[in-house]
A and B are shown apart, each in its own frame.
Chain A
Amino acid sequence: MKPLDPRLLRHTRGARRYILITATTGAVTAALVVAQALLIAHAVAPVIDGTAGWAHVATLLPALAAVVALRAGVLVVQESSAHRSATHVIAELREQVLTRTVELGPRWLAAEQGPAVVTLVTRGLDDLEPYFVRYLPQLLLAATVTPATLAVVLGLNLVAALTIAFTLPLIPVFMWLIGVLTQKFAAERLATMQRLGAQLMDLLAGLGTLKALGREQGPGARVGELGRAYTRTTMATLRVAFLSGAVLEFLSSIAVALVAVGIGTGLVYGRIDLVTGLAVLMLAPEVYRPIREVGAQFHASADGIAAAAQSFAVIEHPLPPRGTRPAPDLRQTDIVLDAVSVAAPGRATWAPWQLEARLRPGRVLALVGPSGAGKSTAASVVLGLLTPDDGAVRLVPATPAGDSPASAGVSLSDVDPASWWAQIAWVPQRPVIVPGTVRANVLGDAAAAVDDRARVAAHDTGFDEVLAQLPHGWDSVLGQGGVGLSLGQRQRLALTRALLGTHPLVVLDEPTAHLDARAEEHVLTAVDRLRAQGRTVLVIAHRQALIARADDVVTVRSRATDPADGDRPDAPRTTSTPSPTSASARAEPTP
């Protein structure tokens, strides 16, 4: 683990600025620490020696007061800039992580666990605050104050400087030694500790279940027992873990003691004067102070560094290569799926497997098949969000049905995604509402007028019933701070938006949940209207009524990657319903 990840400086402007400010305040602090020690020594020593009186001290006091005030001021500046920079850096990283997350797309999120990204950006990144406010400044002070004070001590007294220079490197050496010696022991203890902790939490998490079964009375004693066992193991771990902190404190304070005794001896034999002696005595602890603080804040910072590293893993995740050719006009282009296969993540299955389809302008094509067969995945491939693992999507100039294609066309992977997406409207199962008014969400512009066309579309999809319940109709604010829409209401909104748009291709994922007879009717009407507008529709259909409306029906199939491989391949671990197809493929190995 690096104490300062160079990627932090590369990716965030806030961090670069902060390092500059903190390095400056660190240098100023170093100068002020030295000045304070010298001023005090010069003020006190002559009085003790009896060589100077109040007049001498009085000339130094204003300077000392100024140094003290400046030190406090520099600290305030440093601390506020630390807080501000932490806020900025966290915001910068959050935006970059989310932007890259969206670019990487749903398949990456499914494989990399979307919830982890949400936790990272909402909570994990907050760990950077203690890192910025407490750890980094001390790290930079260790790089400025420690060498500066050591250099001054060297200029004042060689013996004291040598004492410090010898003990200073002992700190990392001893901490490393202790780390190595206790590692095995600590790892074992830590494992026991975590196991006990997990058992305890498991018991607590099941309380509701035990209550429902009337068995809640037993485990109380067990909770206490586990708690005490946990305490014992943790104490055994701490006895070792605190050793390194103790060694750090021991070395720094014994070194100061040795320096003091050395100076005392030097003074007795008249080798040094009192000013030097007092200055060295005050400077010696300052050499160690930043290092002690770095050690103390180390663990607080580790979480922050880990969160930053996680962010960089997302931000620096390479994007799949993208095409550059402008997309052909979809109103005159057939979309041809050529033996498209996609490996399902986490399942030993191809879904879809060898999908063949031809989507012609102005026609409605329904993808059907059991759940888990890869219908949504096939739609993602057409949308250009996913590159097939095998086969290809080709765009060829439209031919009347039945004619052989005039040319091979271009591959979708060579097409510039932006120009492709500009021609597509997508109505997914769980449509997104962008915070803003209904008007902005449906019509794409907060100032667009609601004309008859919009009203008819809203009526066709049943969205007018939703509008009637909203406090300000088309101008109701949706999303954060505004009204929340249920899933069914969001689906109607998205359908209305698709009807009102002019995108030549509409991809529609028929809702499976919360659908009743009326909602089904709305979907059917919407498909009819889209066909009447001459638009191409790709629909993932689950119900007979919708399948009957389609011009072309294509069945999507999945296939286990290696059907001969045992009778119990890795079953899907997700909550998705296992597909009957893949189940039968497992049960009956095809030769």
Chain B
Amino acid sequence: MSAPTRAPAHPSEAPTTTDPLARGLVPQEERSALRRSIRLLHIDRRRLLWAVLAGSAGLGSAVALTATAAWMIARASQMPDFGQLAVAAVAVRLFGTSRAVLRYLERLASHQVALEGMAALRESVYTTLASGRTDTVTTLRRGDLLARTGADVDSVGDVVVRALVPAAVAALVGLGSAVLVGWLNVGAGIVLAGCLLVAGVVGPALTIRSVRLSEHAQILARSELSATAMTMVDGAGELTVSGGVHGMLSELRRTEVALARAKDAGARPAALAAGIDTLAMGVAVLGSLLLGVPATIAGAMQPVELAVIVLTPLAAFEGTALLGPAAAQLVRSGGAALRIMRLLDNATSDRTTSGSAADGSAPTAQLSAVGVSVGWPGGPIVAHGIDLDVAPGRAIAVVGASGLGKTTVLLTLAGLLPPVSGQVTVGGRAAWGAPRPWVSRQVVLTAEDAHIFATTVLENLRVARGDVTPEEATDLLGRVELGPWLAALPQGLDTVLGSDATTISGGERRRLLLARALASRAQLLLLDEPGEHLDASTADRLVADLLRTAHESGAGPAGDEPRGLVLVTHRLAALGGADEVIVLGHAAAGGGPAPDQGGLRRPVTVVARGTHAELLASVPEYRWAAEQDSAPDV
């Protein structure tokens, strides 16, 4: 099922503008997203203040070390009594020590603030998504979900450590240095302040420009590069035999040239930013000399103080040097904040699906769809004209070639996606819009890519129902033919499965998910390709058994009533037990190509329905496909 995952969940995320700087260095929406997400960090203000103070004192120590040492040396050259220098000598050593200690304390404090912020932000993102609009999560690729809650949250937290604290420290220390120099010579102080301001504003602005330009280049080139790389890796054999590898390499070189040109544009401001700090420092030193020397000769300033105002600027620019990386971080965090906030806004728009399941009356579980069209929000309609009815005791199979949108149909039936048009009702209430806890007590969906948690086998079954006993678990696993697998596990039901079940095979994973679905209390089960990754005979046996459960009493969740079933499959051989088979496909329309995955697609609809036997008799295409499936492996 690749079609829906390919559909962009948020089309606005695609790079649309050709000029990455069209909306300014830090666009308004990025700023407001950053502000909002920083608020969600719940920053510990006292600790943040402490981090800024410790950092400023640490960096200030470096400036003070230079200033005091300059004073001490200049004074020493006048050969005073050594006692007069003793205080300065102690101060110099103290500043030499305090710098490292304070910096260490600042790093700890700022990291603590950031980490706590990340934890808080992550929790609010999770709870918002959990109780927000269901389709926000449904349409989000797992990689994107992890990127939003993982790397993006970290990136917003990093703004504390890498942007806010350094910026505050640079401002405080810069101000302090300028005041110190200005106290000795007002003109030199003003020059230093001006140079610090230029280095602290122009440099970071150039850095932001550079980051935006090169990031833009990267986005443009990366999709082409990965397409070329994927083609070369996937088609390595064919390209070798056909000699097509040369064509691919020249394509690669064309992309690289375009990428290099775009990156050079971004490198220019970065190079200028690197030079500006040094230049500003030099100008400040020259300014101190130009203003300080005449003042000293005129007697307006002590000769010793000349050394201080000339040498202090040499150390004062260490703070502004931190601002370039801080600006780059600001851009990265801004992008991350924007993505997180868009997701949260999407999740909380319209309505929330949180609510209580306290609607105590047990309704008749009856799922019906009338004239339903389905599609990914914001995407095209994938399938239309879907009608079906399922209640306990009835089993329906939805079949059709891969990639036609069968999964999208299931998600809509489960109330996880809004229907584009038409009505999906569960127990008489609209599936999309009723409280989630209520809907999921009637209907549960087991998606093809459902998650296996990194916990024990038993706990993975309890995800569906918290009170599954070990005996029940063993029974359930036996029903899906995982008995031998379970017996071979080192700790049986208590065996911990790897993260996302990388240590179990595709077929085992599929059956474990099936057992989990069977463990749930819901009377209606929607199952996506339960036989995938299994060999043909096992898959067919399993599907046939599932279809039987719909009709046998004693197979239901409470052990006394039958269940309703909608299962999506592309194998037809075992569908004899289904009450109805619904065939999705393209309605015959003059001369178009046979349905294909991707490429040029139009929505599918129900092209045939009936029992397996009826379809075999009346639909030649169905018979052909069923014959392929039931033919013994040759």
The 4 closest A-B pairs by CB, nearest first: A214-B440, A68-B282, A257-B96, A227-B119
What residue in chain B is nearest A270 (Cβ atoms)? Answer: B79
Say yes or no: B242 contacts A426, CB within 8 Å: yes
Of the candidates A260, A273, A465, the one whose C-beta lies within 8 Å of that of B72 is: A260
Of A47, A200, A432, most buried by chain B (CB within 10 Å of CB) is A432
Tell yes or no: B251 within 8 A of A by CB: yes
Interface size class of B (residues with CB under 8 A): 35 or more
A–B Cβ pairs within 8 angstroms, 22 of them: A44-B306, A54-B294, A75-B274, A80-B267, A95-B249, A133-B270, A203-B126, A204-B146, A208-B451, A213-B463, A224-B123, A245-B107, A246-B101, A247-B100, A254-B93, A268-B76, A422-B243, A426-B237, A426-B241, A468-B591, A577-B533, A578-B505
Q: Identify 6 new A-B residue pairs, CB closer than 8 A, beyond the known A83-B264, A434-B248.
A: A215-B464, A216-B131, A224-B120, A238-B111, A462-B593, A486-B600
Tell yes or no: B634 within 8 A of A by CB: yes
Tell yes or no: A383 within 8 A of B by CB: yes
Q: Which residues of B contact A277 (CB under 8 A)?
A: 73, 76-77
Instruction: Give the contact stretch, choosing among B9-17, B390-398, B603-611, B621-629.
Output: B621-629
Say yes or no: B241 contacts A421, CB within 8 Å: yes
Of the candidates B72, B240, B243, the one whose C-beta lies within 8 Å of that of A105 is: B240
Say yes or no: A267 contacts B236, CB within 8 Å: no
Q: Chain A interface mostly helix, strand, loop or mixed?
A: helix
Tell yes or no: A98 within 8 A of B by CB: yes
Say yes or no: A220 contacts B297, CB within 8 Å: no
Say yes or no: A575 contacts B533, CB within 8 Å: yes
Say yes or no: A547 contacts B274, CB within 8 Å: no
Q: Which residues of B contact A88 (CB under 8 A)?
A: 260
Complex CA–CA separation, A258 to B293 (angstroms):
28
Say yes or no: B598 contacts A435, CB within 8 Å: no
What residue in chain B is nearest A50 (Cβ atoms)? Answer: B303
Q: Which residues of B contact A207 (CB under 8 A)?
A: 126, 129-130, 137, 145
Tell yes or no: A40 within 8 A of B by CB: yes
Q: How far in angstroms is the closest Cβ of chain A from B373?
A: 21
Of B77, B314, B463, B621, most buried by chain A (CB within 10 Å of CB) is B77
Q: Which residues of B contact A249 (CB under 8 A)?
A: 99-100, 103
Contact with B along A393-420 (1 / 0, CB 8 A): 0000000000000000000000000000
Q: Which residues of A contact B225 (CB under 8 A)?
A: 94, 121-122
Q: How far in angstroms is the closest Cβ of chain A from B95?
A: 7
Contact with A along B132-146 (1 / 0, CB 8 A): 001001101010011
Contact with A along B488-521 (1 / 0, CB 8 A): 1000000000011000011100000000100010
Say yes or no: B108 contacts A242, CB within 8 Å: yes
Tell yes or no: B56 within 8 A of A by CB: no
Complex CA–CA separation, A310 to B61 (angstroms):
43
Tell yes or no: A590 within 8 A of B by CB: no
What residue in chain A is nearest B224 (Cβ atoms)? Answer: A480
Say yes or no: A253 contacts B65, CB within 8 Å: yes
Q: Which residues of A contact B112 (CB under 8 A)?
A: 231, 235
What residue in chain A is nearest B81 (Cβ atoms)? Answer: A268
Complex CA–CA separation, A257 to B103 (angstroms):
17
Say yes or no: A488 contacts B252, CB within 8 Å: no
Say yes or no: B93 contacts A258, CB within 8 Å: yes
Say yes or no: B150 contacts A68, CB within 8 Å: no
Q: Which residues of B contact A451 (CB under 8 A)?
A: none
Tell yes or no: A452 within 8 A of B by CB: no
Tell yes or no: A230 within 8 A of B by CB: yes
Known: A238-B111, A568-B488. A432 touches B231 (CB 8 A): yes
Of the candidates B115, B238, B436, the one whose C-beta lies within 8 Å of that of A431 is: B238
Q: How far in angstroms is the closest Cβ of chain B from A229?
A: 9
Say yes or no: B634 contacts A544, CB within 8 Å: yes
Contact with B along A192-228 (1 / 0, CB 8 A): 0000001111111111111111111101100110011
Of the candidates B229, B447, B453, the one whose C-beta lies within 8 Å of that of A202 is: B453
Of the candidates B116, B222, B260, B596, the one whose C-beta lies within 8 Å of that of A231 is: B116
Say yes or no: A212 contacts B233, CB within 8 Å: no
Tell yes or no: B24 within 8 A of A by CB: no
Q: How far in angstroms is the closest Cβ of chain B from A36?
A: 8
Q: How far in angstroms is the closest Cβ of chain B from A330?
A: 13
Say yes or no: A487 contacts B598, CB within 8 Å: yes
Say yes or no: A575 contacts B506, CB within 8 Å: yes
Tell yes or no: B535 within 8 A of A by CB: yes
Q: Which residues of A contact B70 (CB under 8 A)?
A: 278, 281
Tell yes or no: A177 within 8 A of B by CB: no
Of the candidates A79, A214, A257, the one whose C-beta lies within 8 Å of that of B274 is: A79
Q: Which residues of A contact B558 (CB under 8 A)?
A: none
Q: Which residues of A contact B234 (CB under 8 A)?
A: 114, 430, 432
Tell yes or no: B360 within 8 A of A by CB: no
Say yes or no: A209 contacts B447, CB within 8 Å: yes
Tell yes or no: A159 within 8 A of B by CB: no
Of the candidates A36, A80, A202, A577, the one whose C-beta lies within 8 Å of that of B500 is: A202
Q: How far in angstroms is the closest Cβ of chain B from A32?
A: 10
Say yes or no: B260 contacts A40, CB within 8 Å: no
Which residues 263-289 in B have Cβ within 8 Å of A in the complex? 263-264, 266-268, 270-272, 274-276, 278-279, 281-283, 285-286, 289
Contact with B along A531-552 (1 / 0, CB 8 A): 0000000000111100100000
Say yes or no: A424 contacts B463, CB within 8 Å: no
Which residues 98-126 in B have Cβ within 8 Å of A in the complex? 99-101, 103-104, 107-108, 111-112, 115-116, 118-120, 122-123, 126
Complex CA–CA separation, A583 to B537 (angstroms):
12
Say yes or no: B123 contacts A208, CB within 8 Å: no
Tell yes or no: A23 within 8 A of B by CB: no
Say yes or no: A83 contacts B267, CB within 8 Å: yes
Say yes or no: A68 contacts B241, CB within 8 Å: no
Say yes or no: B104 contacts A242, CB within 8 Å: yes
Say yes or no: A72 contacts B591, CB within 8 Å: no
Say yes or no: A487 contacts B278, CB within 8 Å: no
Complex CA–CA separation, A115 to B232 (angstroms):
11
Say yes or no: B633 contacts A274, CB within 8 Å: no
Complex CA–CA separation, A433 to B256 (angstroms):
20
Q: Which residues of B contact A104 (CB under 8 A)?
A: 236
Known: A436-B247, A488-B594. A572 touches B634 (CB 8 A): no
Of the candidates B99, B138, B625, the one whose C-beta lies within 8 Å of that of A253 is: B99
Known: A209-B463, A213-B444, A436-B247. A64 touches B286 (CB 8 A): yes
Tell yes or no: A369 within 8 A of B by CB: yes
Say yes or no: A480 contacts B251, CB within 8 Å: yes
Tell yes or no: A10 within 8 A of B by CB: no
Q: How far in angstroms is the closest Cβ of chain B from A515?
A: 8
Say yes or no: A212 contacts B416, CB within 8 Å: yes
What residue in chain B is nearest A121 (Cβ atoms)? Answer: B229
Complex CA–CA separation, A293 to B435 (angstroms):
57
Complex CA–CA separation, A238 to B115 (angstroms):
11
Complex CA–CA separation, A255 to B82 (angstroms):
21
Of the candidates A65, A385, A424, the one whose C-beta lies within 8 Å of that of B282 is: A65
Q: How far in angstroms is the closest Cβ of chain A from B134?
A: 6
Q: How far in angstroms is the closest Cβ of chain B from A565?
A: 15
Q: Which residues of A contact B506 (CB under 8 A)?
A: 574-575
Tell yes or no: A76 within 8 A of B by CB: yes
Of the candidates B134, B271, B283, B446, the one whose C-beta lies within 8 Å of that of A79 is: B271
Contact with A along B581-622 (1 / 0, CB 8 A): 000000000011111111110000000000000000000110
Say yes or no: B96 contacts A253, CB within 8 Å: yes
Of the candidates A199, A260, A371, A573, the one whose C-beta lies within 8 Å of that of B633 is: A371
Tell yes or no: A256 within 8 A of B by CB: yes
Complex CA–CA separation, A396 to B140 (angstroms):
58
Say yes or no: A202 contacts B499, CB within 8 Å: yes
Tell yes or no: B21 within 8 A of A by CB: no
Say yes or no: A200 contacts B447, CB within 8 Å: no
Which residues 206-260 in B have Cβ within 8 Å of A in the complex? 218, 222, 224-245, 247-249, 251-253, 256, 259-260
Complex CA–CA separation, A575 to B507 (angstroms):
8
Tell yes or no: B310 within 8 A of A by CB: yes
Q: Which residues of A contact B31 (CB under 8 A)?
A: none
Say yes or no: B436 contacts A281, CB within 8 Å: no
Say yes or no: A209 contacts B450, CB within 8 Å: yes
Q: How far in angstroms is the closest Cβ of chain B from A494?
A: 9
